[in-house]
A and B are shown apart, each in its own frame.
Chain A
Amino acid sequence: MKILEPLLFELSVDGRRGYTLPKLDIPESDPADLLPATYIRKELKLPSISEIDCVRHFTRLSRLNYCVDVGFYPLGSCTMKYNPKINEDMARLPGFANLHPYQSEGTVQGALALMHFLEHAICEITGMDACTLQPAAGAHGELTGLMIIKAYHDRKRNKTKTKILIPDAGHGTNPASAALCGYQVVSLHTDARGGVDLNDLRAHLAPDVAGLMLTNPNTLGLFDENIEEIARLVHSVDGLLYYDGANLNAIMGWTRPGDMGFDVVHVNLHKTFSTPHGGGGPGSGPVGVKKHLAEFLPSPKVTFDGKKFKIVRKCKGSIGPVRSFLGSFGVLVRAWTYIVSLGGAGLKDVSSHAVLNANYMMRRLQKRYALPYDRHCKHEFVLSGKPFAEKGVKTLDIAKRLLDEGFHAPTIYFPLIVEEAIMIEPTETESKRTMDEFIEVMLRIADEAVNTPEKLKAAPIKTPVGRLDEATAARKPDLNYFKGRGSPPGNASV
């Protein structure tokens, strides 16, 4: 394999330095007098390189990366929207960036105020009564929300509640969160219009149903028209309705989960509220609840008595802390900045444009790709690569070919209920020009799939590496870089 970038250890040359220490201005002491012998090392196996070599190494690595600041990123279900730089400016204000979680309340009033106001904003946007900012991601929010649902049923001493209903179009994290919380997962079918199959819901409705988890619009990008009936049915057996907020970008300012009948909701600040994500975070998945569940929210809580903000640690009825300290604070600052810089009307426009963009792309791409659920979509839509199956072309090949054209691939093979699924979410920030460029490429790839399928099978050819065997790489990782290359160069040892 071609080496894209040598390791720092390979760039290392004995004696090279990237720093010069100033002259010692205190009495020199021997570490052996200060530390136990077991902690003293004679040799530090660190690479020796100059500053410029180090800077170039990391800059070159960064240029192998593809991100939303480089190009179009139509990854469905992930809302990879542009993150305005003002969010970054605010998160870097020294008063926020240099806080320590052990600082006393009196010295962090501004930070607590921001959290308090952000909680209110999230409640306003989702139609909930109270909120926690602790969860570190969407799936963490799901688990927190389900623990709240469990606390509600436990409080009523209702031991019959053992099941959580989840539509088969749901995110994979939904059943995982429910199972982790000790619930049995029951999968519900999707009807011909792409919503929850009401007959299947009625068939599974029983006193043992603790709740139903729903994404609305769902992962097909379709708004469930029967949501009020779904809420009525679930509530009729004292079940609670959980809103997976991954697709909140479609409805902000137009409708609210609380108004649809949901009891618990998580939102993904790193998706809808435009803070960077991907590559492991940090994310933030606040959870909002209706009044009857507010006491169960995690502790500690930030409160305001009209004069001072306080961190209240002992909260009666609370499920307890779900994360260290109060949440991913840097993400909270970015989300708050995004919300107040756009305002209510701006957030409503965000959803309008996200939905308009998705419908525009769907209608143009529908001409060459299959559209399994043909109705107006919300912020994303799901195509199928099935028409090219007879040429031996898979959705994976289409996605790989897009990489050669300089685009990030859309989400593929999800949702599971669509064969050869291609899930596209343009988001509100993309111009018609960018979308047209992507559409033209997709249409050209459709032609290639019919006329020169081998071109798709060979893709990608322009990326730093070609098609990787991801499954084997994940299952049988070869973690020794130097295997088959002899021993590490320089003074390095690994």
Chain B
Amino acid sequence: MNPTNCKYTKDHEWARIEGKIAIIGISEFASKQLGDVVFVDVPQVGTELVKGKTLGVVESVKTVSDIFAPLSGKVIERNAALEGEPAKVNEDPFGSGWMIKIELSDPGEVSDLMDVKEYEEHCAHSEH
């Protein structure tokens, strides 16, 4: 189930916004489409992200995909556990499979993201 307290992008990233901070990961839909994740590459703390630009890379047994920044801001924390256990992205995409925490540079961008209802409609459309 997609948590209601997250916002989503059409590329299947999620962001949980807490004040000026956002926690970012990829959705369960994305992790299922990718298959078993074997490598996650996320930016170092301090990196400035621009909304819509590549944030990092996730590699699965099937494919290698870019992850796009759902929002702009500075990386203040990264999930180091993913280096040793990338499978967390499959097991708990909205929990221990989170990727980075950023400090928002433009909180106004949040309104561009989809809420859970819109996102689930988008997913239903993406499946075939």
Contact = CB atoms under 8 A, between A and B. Distances in A.
Contacts of B59: 471, 475
B39 A416 contact: no
Contacts of A9: none
A394 interface: yes
A396 B61 contact: yes
Interface residues of B, number: 11
A326 B44 CA distance: 48
B100 interface: no
A414 B62 contact: yes
Interface residues of A, number: 15
Interface in A469-484: 469-472, 475
B96 interface: no
Nearest to B128: A189
A469 B36 CA distance: 13
A131 B41 CA distance: 44
B123 to A, nearest CB: 16
B39 A413 contact: no
Given A189-B128, A396-B36, A413 B61 contact: yes
A412 interface: yes
B39 A472 contact: yes
A475 B39 contact: yes
A111 to B, nearest CB: 41
B63 interface: yes
A395 B35 CA distance: 11
Contacts of A413: 35, 61-62
Given A396-B61, A471-B59, A475-B41, 5 more contacts: A412-B61, A414-B62, A469-B38, A475-B39, A475-B59
5 A-B pairs closest in CB distance: A471-B39, A471-B38, A413-B62, A413-B61, A189-B128
8 contacts: A394-B36, A413-B35, A414-B62, A469-B38, A471-B39, A472-B39, A475-B39, A475-B59
Interface of A: 189, 394-396, 412-414, 416, 419-420, 469-472, 475
